[in-house]
Amino acid sequence: MTISIKGIAVSRGIAIGRAYKLERGQPDIHEACITDAEIENEIQRLEHALKIARAQLNKIQEKIPHSTPLDIAAFIDTHLLMMDDPALTEAPTQLIRTKKCNAEWALKLQLDSLVEVFDQMNDAYLKTRKDDVIHVVNRILRILLEEDMPAQEDIQTLHTKIIIADDLTPADIVMLHHQGIAGFITESGGPLSHTAILARSLKLPAIVGIHNAKRYLQNNDHIIIDGEQGTVLIDANKEIEADYKNRQQAYQDYYSSLNKLKDKPSITLDQVPIHLLANAELPEDMQTLHDYNIDGIGLYRTEFLFMNRDTLPDENEQYETYMAMVSTMQGRPVTIRTLDLGADKPLKNIKNEDCPTNPALGLRAIRLCLNNPELFRPQLRAILRASAKGQVRMMIPMLSNTQEIHQVFKILDDVKRELRQQGHAFDDHMQIGGMIEIPAAAISSYLFAKHLDFLSIGTNDLIQYTLAIDRIDEEVNYLYSPCHPSVLRLIHQVIKAGKRARIPVAMCGEMAGDPVYTRLLLGLGLREFSMQANTILEVKDVITHSRIDNLRKAGLAILQSEHAEEALSKIEMMNKKIH
Ligand code: PEP
Ligand code: MG
């Protein structure tokens, strides 16, 4: 009999294979007291384990595909940095000496005290850092206990298997993907986790949030996972399996057919051109951008230049970085977003001793910049100087009122005067746009549109603020929905405001890169989409098979939905129609 279990679908595609349970509960530590004579030996064991752990992560890093979002690559960097932190190197060594305990016990004692510190914090971002520390320490412990992930030689063990685990880190996913797994299921996690984003980027079918998955599923069970519906089928009969095999083949055919679209124009069947731009985080991203023949950069997140380092990049370093982007884009627009630090993207150098209770509602993004001219002015100078060499557009994040726009203009005028006096060239007509990611900004976008050259809708934050759900809090993930009627109405309002003021409106949040919403957004009037480069071809495919004339009415009807589920089922119907 076929048994079916439901979880949260996070990465599309069908996987069919045998279950493999990754038994990695808490490492089982043997707490042993040691003699004076054994101390040096234990310290050496610890150092050796740290060395192997670093080597493992370095190897994993080499396997990260080019198309992986760079903040995920940075996530593995963070784990590497932690392995060099005195809290994980010197402190356990001291414990071995003073408490005369074995290396694993010393690490465990140190982990317990670090976890205690994290638990006293009130900050969601720092709480996710606690998970990082646990992941890093567990990796070292498993090496000490010689019970790490199946070794490289064991590739056959995992090849074509569907992994069942309580939790998987992005580093695990890179390694498991390399070993040829067919897909994975985890007991915890949500659609916005780094693991889920990475699975989508690797096109690895995945379902998360199936509590007790390891109890329901046994090693070697024959299972099918449907990463679109979030269903797991156990012991499916022959007809069902044949049906899924056909769907699996259809996915594969679809992905390989997308390559043909690379050099095709992004234009609808009724000849409306749609601009497809990419989001970029680091200059290295430019490499992959060329693979997709994009119209430009719609969002360059400059904060990644500032994070994970001890000193701030000065004006020249910023200028060089922006220039590298501008010259690779060869005349196509590069939209440089001013610093969006704070909340989920904190900076070491900015004082955060008084960590606010709600960092997402605190001094972040443009608020932080207006409060820290010494941080903001060098960036404005660097952006302006880069504007002399190409089509640079500047974008302000997290605007909540028009006074902030005027404050920015005032500083900008001052910086321009300074640059002129110093003989630096810049584009005096550089376009200035604003991100609409706070409901207040969406509601008054007609006011913002009077002062700005373009608007860009940041749905990641707009959804978080509209629905009052922390985007990194797993407990409320289930409420995060781009289809909530209020979110859809706000989006429509911004598009209309741009149209009335005759300025372009783009979207650069994750929603812009999800082909499920492409037709709806076209119907609501969106003409510029900016997304992770590796989703561009899927979105282009939808665009080239759509007729805007047929989508307007349906788009407006979806705004009338009573709840997100109703909107989604209407969107699905809209997507099934031929045009
Ligand atoms: C957004 O909020 O939608 C956005 C694109 O910005 P970020 O994800 O960097 O906050
Ligand atoms: Mg944002």
Residue 152's pLDDT band (boundaries 50, 70, 90)? very low
Q: How far is the CA of 494 from the centre of ligand 1 (A)?
A: 16
Beta-ladder partners of 561: none
Q: How far is the CA of 460 from the centre of ligand 2 (A)?
A: 6
Residue type, 95: L
Ligand 1 contact, 123 CB (< 6 A): no
Question: Reduced to 3 states, what is the DSSP secondary structure of residue 184?
Answer: strand
Q: Is the dihedral of CA 196, 397, 324, 307 positive or negative?
A: negative
Ligand 1 contact, 508 CB (< 6 A): yes
Ligand 1 atom showing the smallest separation from residue 437 Cα: 2
- Where does CATH 3.50.30.10 sit in the chain? 3-23+151-258
Ligand 1 atom showing the smallest separation from residue 279 Cα: 5
Q: How far is the CA of 131 from the centre of ligand 1 (A)?
A: 23
Q: Which ligand ends up closest to the CA of 300? A: 1
Dmax over CA atoms of the chain, in Å, equals 82
**């899924």: which residue's tokens?**
244
Active site residue 194: yes
Average per-residue pLDDT for the chain: 88
Beta-ladder partners of 8: 208
Active site residue 508: yes
Q: Is the dihedral of CA 165, 197, 323, 456 positive or negative?
A: negative
Ligand 1 contact, 509 CB (< 6 A): yes
Residue 403's pLDDT band (boundaries 50, 70, 90)? very high
- Tell me: pLDDT of 471 over 90: no
- Tell me: pLDDT of 283 over 80: no
CB hemisphere CA count around 555 (13 angstroms) = 23
Helical packing angle, 485-500 and 548-559, nearest 10°: 130
Task: List, in order, residues 6 or more apart from 254 with CB less than 8 Å away.
Answer: none
- Distance (Å, whole) CA 206 – CA 194: 13
Helix and strand totals (H; E) in the chain = 23, 16
- Residue nearest atom 4 of ligand 1, based on CA coordinates: 458
Strand ranges, E, within 43-198: 162-165, 183-186
- Tell me: pLDDT of 84 over 80: yes
Q: Does the domain at residues 3-23+151-258 carry the CATH identifier 3.10.20.30? A: no
- Tell me: pLDDT of 95 over 60: yes
101: closest CA among 30, 45, 34?
Answer: 34
User: Per-residue pLDDT averaged across 36-63, rounded?
Assistant: 88
Q: How far is the CA of 535 from the centre of ligand 2 (A)?
A: 19
- Tell me: pLDDT of 192 over 80: no
Domain 36-144 CATH class label: mainly alpha
Count of CB atoms within 10 A of residue 283's CB?
Answer: 18
Question: Reduced to 3 states, what is the DSSP secondary structure of residue 258?
Answer: helix
Q: How far is the CA of 397 from the centre of ligand 2 (A)?
A: 7
Q: How far is the CA of 410 from the centre of ligand 2 (A)?
A: 24
- Which structure tokens are listed for 283? 């200059």
- Residue nearest atom 5 of ligand 1, based on CA coordinates: 509
Structure-derived torsion over alpha carbons of residues 400, 403, 405, 410, reported in degrees to the nearest 10: -150
- Tell me: pLDDT of 102 over 90: yes
Q: What is the pLDDT of residue 154?
A: 47
Cα three-residue angle 301-13-253, rounded to 5 degrees = 100
Q: Which ligand ends up closest to the CA of 301? A: 1
- Distance (Å, whole) CA 398 – CA 337: 11
Question: Reduced to 3 states, what is the DSSP secondary structure of residue 222?
Answer: strand
- Distance (Å, whole) CA 526 – CA 512: 10
> Each residue of 6-36: b (16+ CB within 10 Å) or e?
ebbbbbbbbbbbebbbbebeebeeeeeebee
Residue to mutate, 197, 300, 508, ligand 1, most ligand atoms under 8 Å from C-beta? 508
- Where does CATH 1.10.274.10 sit in the chain? 36-144
- Tell me: pLDDT of 269 over 90: yes
Residue 65's pLDDT band (boundaries 50, 70, 90)? low
- Tell me: pLDDT of 344 over 50: yes
Ligand 1 contact, 202 CB (< 6 A): no
What percent of the chain lies above the pLDDT cut of 70? 89
Residue type, 265: P
Ligand 1 atom showing the smallest separation from residue 459 Cα: 3
More confident residue, 172 or 50: 50
- Distance (Å, whole) CA 322 – CA 379: 10
Helical packing angle, 194-201 and 170-178, nearest 10°: 30
- Which structure tokens are listed for 142? 């498993």
Q: Which ligand ends up closest to the CA of 482? A: 1
Q: How far is the CA of 331 from the centre of ligand 2 (A)?
A: 26
Q: Which range has highest mean pLDDT (151-160, 323-332, 495-504, 534-543)?
A: 495-504
Q: What is the pLDDT of residue 478?
A: 77
Ligand 1 contact, 512 CB (< 6 A): no
Least confident stretch, 141-145, 235-239, 447-451: 141-145
- Which structure tokens are listed for 364? 């972040």
- Tell me: pLDDT of 71 over 60: no
Q: What is the pLDDT of residue 70?
A: 54
Strand order in the sheet with 206-208: 3-6, 231-234, 222-226, 14-21, 162-165, 183-186, 206-208, 8-11
Q: Which ligand ends up closest to the CA of 335? A: 1
Q: What is the pLDDT of residue 350?
A: 55
Residue type, 573: M
Q: Which range has highest mean pLDDT (214-218, 279-283, 301-305, 419-423)?
A: 419-423
- Distance (Å, whole) CA 177 – CA 183: 8
More confident residue, 100 or 473: 100
User: Per-residue pLDDT averaged across 306-334, rounded?
Assistant: 90
Q: How far is the CA of 458 from the centre of ligand 2 (A)?
A: 5
Residue to mutate, 340, 490, 507, 530, ligand 1, most ligand atoms under 8 Å from C-beta? 340
Instruction: Answer yes or no: are the C-beta atoms of 355 and 363 closer than 8 Å.
Output: no
More confident residue, 59 or 228: 228
Instruction: Answer yes or no: are the C-beta atoms of 63 and 174 closer than 8 Å.
Output: yes
Helical H segments across 422-534, by residue range: 439-443, 445-451, 459-467, 485-500, 518-523
Ligand 1 contact, 172 CB (< 6 A): no
Least confident stretch, 165-174, 265-274, 369-378, 498-507: 165-174
Q: What is the pLDDT of residue 353?
A: 47
Residue 151's pLDDT band (boundaries 50, 70, 90)? very low
- Which structure tokens are listed for 54? 């670093």
DSSP string, 79-116: HHHHTTSTTTTHHHHHHHHHH-B-HHHHHHHHHHHHHH
Q: What is the pTM of this model?
A: 0.73
Ligand 1 atom showing the smallest separation from residue 458 Cα: 3
Ligand 1 contact, 459 CB (< 6 A): yes
Instruction: Compute CA 259 distance to the chain's CA centroid, rounded to the nearest angstrom.
Output: 24
- Distance (Å, whole) CA 511 – CA 578: 22
> Each residue of 52-61: b (16+ CB within 10 Å) or e?
ebbebbeebe
User: Per-residue pLDDT averaged across 131-159, rounded?
Assistant: 72
**């609409």: which residue's tokens?**
436
Helical H segments across 218-313, by residue range: 238-258, 285-289
pLDDT tens sequence across 199-221: 887 889 999 989 889 889 999 99
Q: What is the pLDDT of residue 343?
A: 66
305: closest CA among 296, 295, 297, 315?
Answer: 315
- Tell me: pLDDT of 128 over 60: no
Task: List, in order, residues 6 or more apart from 217 with CB less than 8 Å away.
Answer: 19, 21, 164, 185, 223, 232, 234
Ligand 1 contact, 464 CB (< 6 A): no
- Residue nearest atom 9 of ligand 1, based on CA coordinates: 301
Instruction: Answer yes or no: are the C-beta atoms of 163 and 20 closer than 8 Å.
Output: yes
Instruction: Answer yes or no: are the C-beta atoms of 325 and 334 closer than 8 Å.
Output: yes
Instruction: Answer yes or no: are the C-beta atoms of 471 and 186 closer than 8 Å.
Output: no
Instruction: Answer yes or no: are the C-beta atoms of 285 and 70 closer than 8 Å.
Output: yes
- Distance (Å, whole) CA 340 – CA 352: 16
Least confident stretch, 54-68, 77-91, 359-373: 54-68
User: Per-residue pLDDT averaged across 144-157, rounded?
Assistant: 60
Ligand 1 atom showing the smallest separation from residue 508 Cα: 5
Instruction: Report in angstroms the alpha-carbon separations of 550 from 60, 276, 439, 523.
Output: 47, 21, 29, 8
- Tell me: pLDDT of 567 over 90: yes
- Tell me: pLDDT of 352 over 70: no
pLDDT tens sequence across 443-460: 999 999 999 999 999 999
Q: Which ligand ends up closest to the CA of 506? A: 1
Question: Reduced to 3 states, what is the DSSP secondary structure of residue 445?
Answer: helix
Selecting among 79, 178, 194, 492, the annotated active-site residue is 194
Question: Reduced to 3 states, what is the DSSP secondary structure of residue 21?
Answer: strand
